[in-house]
Amino acid sequence: MKTKIGIKTWILIIALIIAFILIFISFSPFQFLAFEKGIVIKSIDKNSSEFISGLRQGMIIESINSQQINNLEDYSKVINSLVFTGAEQKVIISTSEKDFIFFKGESLTIIPGEISKTKLKTGLDLSGGARALIKAYNKSLSTEELNDLIAITSERFNVYGLKDITIRSVRDLQGDNYMLIEIAGATPSDLEDLISKQGEFEARIGNQTVFIGGTDISHVERSGQQSGIEGCYDSKEGQFCRFRFPISITEEAAKRQAEITEKLGISPENPEYLSDKLDLYLDGSLVDSLFISKDLKGRITTQILIQGSGSGTNREEAFNAATADMKKLQTVLITGSLPYKLEIVKLDTISPVLGKEFAKNLAYLAIIVFLIISAVIFVRYRKIKIASSVILTMFSEAFITLGFAALINWNLDAPSIAGIIAGMGTGVNDQIVILDESISNVSISLKQKIKNAFFIILGAFFTTFAAMVPLLWAGAGMLKGFAITTMATLTIGVLITRPAFAEILRKIRGE
């Protein structure tokens, strides 16, 4: 007689399929399954020949000068075989998109990385990243001043949308305070670009300052119809895209602007505008110059439309550059300049603490746990089907949790993996509760016995879930990964895997 698959089992199967899609399937036109050979460009010097030729971060290198690149070891061999003596030589780099040809007289500036076989993101202790030790230039900061600096820096990184960032204060043996920043998956050049500049924004008309970022800005519009990319256009170098967003300045800054514009004449070339422009400076460099309408002459207005542009070799690159420049400008306007000019004392790459060795040991541990639990369950219940159901349900729970992590782009660090393991252990415990209830001598139906087991399981679930909530903020957030993955695994277990296991158990018992 053919056994019919129940609805709860179908829900488990569908959840596993969705998790597989989330973890392994890429919708990139160059990559369907993440089994592509080559190495990925993690970082590239923007002033290098490679960058000028069109190579960009995230591209996959498949060969160099017709020599196949399958992994980092192949890349190192090929690079070492290239002899750079100062005289430029032709270099051909083939990517998954197209070939790039340029001439180079010195070593390549590309920082390579292995292609991820999944869409899972790993944290700083697994994937590595960048670390910077920072202090104020020519100034010793007190604890209160350092805390203010950390708060402003954190706000900036939050506006940029960066994740898995650790910012904390440290002190040396002399008692000097420093700020330590760690960012997973970033390179030292990425981190240096984010923090090396003070971020001073200034709007000038001629040599007179109209307003500055932070103190003179009351509001920055970051969404809506007037904020965003207004269009992309062709240029001699490729493409450029313009962005715009409105801001509100304080009444004092508006009066200052009115006083300055009152003294300006009408532009002879453009009669609709005043003779001088509103120049926007970021860290002393001119970002853009905006025409000032003649209607604003001597007029107090708190509304100003900020504009700018980004360029690239194609429209997508130009769009991304304009978006990044817009976000950077908005960030500086919102947070203002940093209170101190910063000095990077030490800047380096963090090698993965656990890395491949951790993954290998984790695989060995999983096999050992698999064998031990299988043996214990088989000895206890004497049925291979029951033991198999427990193990398969346990690993289904972990796999679906990984799919959830891929869905929310969560960076899996060591505490996160520990949370998944803890959730799996709780899952096995709950399944044993269901099994023990099912074989109890109480003279009620198996269906009712399973209901009694779920009463116990739900009580334990809510208790454990509540215990995890404080860990989201404990230890300055260092245990957040453990809390989130544990809570996710427990929830997936209660909603999907436990009901499916109970249904499978009923099929095994013939009810």
Identify the CA nearest to 156 among candidates 130, 195, 128.
195
CA distance 121 to 128: 11
Least-confidence region, from 129-133, 246-250, 423-427: 129-133
Q: What pLDDT does 336 receive?
A: 64
**Checking DSSP bridges between strand 208-212 and strand 201-205, what pairing results, if any?**
antiparallel
Q: What pLDDT does 411 receive?
A: 75
For residues 434-451, give the mean pLDDT. 79
Domain at 7-24+355-509: CATH code: 1.20.1640.10
For residues 250-280, one letter each, b for 16 or more C-beta atoms within 10 angstroms of the residue's C-beta and e for the rest, the string is eeebbebbbebbeebeebeeeeebbbbbbbb
For residues 212-232, give the mean pLDDT. 81
Instruction: Confirm whether 35-114 and 129-197 share one CATH topology.
Output: no
pLDDT grade for 143, boundaries at 50, 70 and 90: confident
Least-confidence region, from 5-9, 228-232, 236-240, 454-458: 236-240
**Positive/negative CA dihedral, 426, 428, 429, 430:** positive
Q: Any idea what DSSP says for residue 339? A: S
For residues 488-510, give the mean pLDDT. 87
The CA angle 65-69-73, to the nearest 5 degrees, is: 120
Residue 33 has pLDDT above 50, yes or no: no
Look at 139 and 204; give whichever has higher pLDDT: 204
pLDDT grade for 497, boundaries at 50, 70 and 90: very high
Instruction: For the chain, state the CA radius of gyration.
Output: 30
Residue 511 has pLDDT above 60, yes or no: no
Tens-place pLDDT, residues 267-295: 888 888 888 988 888 767 777 787 888 88
Domain at 35-114: CATH code: 2.30.42.10
In contact, 417 and 363? CB cutoff 8 Å: no
The DSSP H or E segment spanning 145 is: helix 143-160
- pTM of the model as a whole: 0.60
Share of the chain above pLDDT 70, in %: 84
For domain 129-197, which CATH number applies: 3.30.70.3400, 1.10.357.10, 3.40.630.30, 1.10.1060.10?
3.30.70.3400
Half-sphere exposure (Cβ direction) of 283: Cα atoms closer than 13 Å = 14
Q: How many residues does the chain have?
A: 511
Tens-place pLDDT, residues 335-348: 665 667 778 888 87
Least-confidence region, from 44-48, 262-266, 366-370, 385-389: 44-48
Domain ranges of the chain: 7-24+355-509, 35-114, 129-197, 203-212+229-321
Residue 174 has pLDDT above 50, yes or no: yes
**Checking DSSP bridges between strand 31-33 and strand 25-28, what pairing results, if any?**
antiparallel
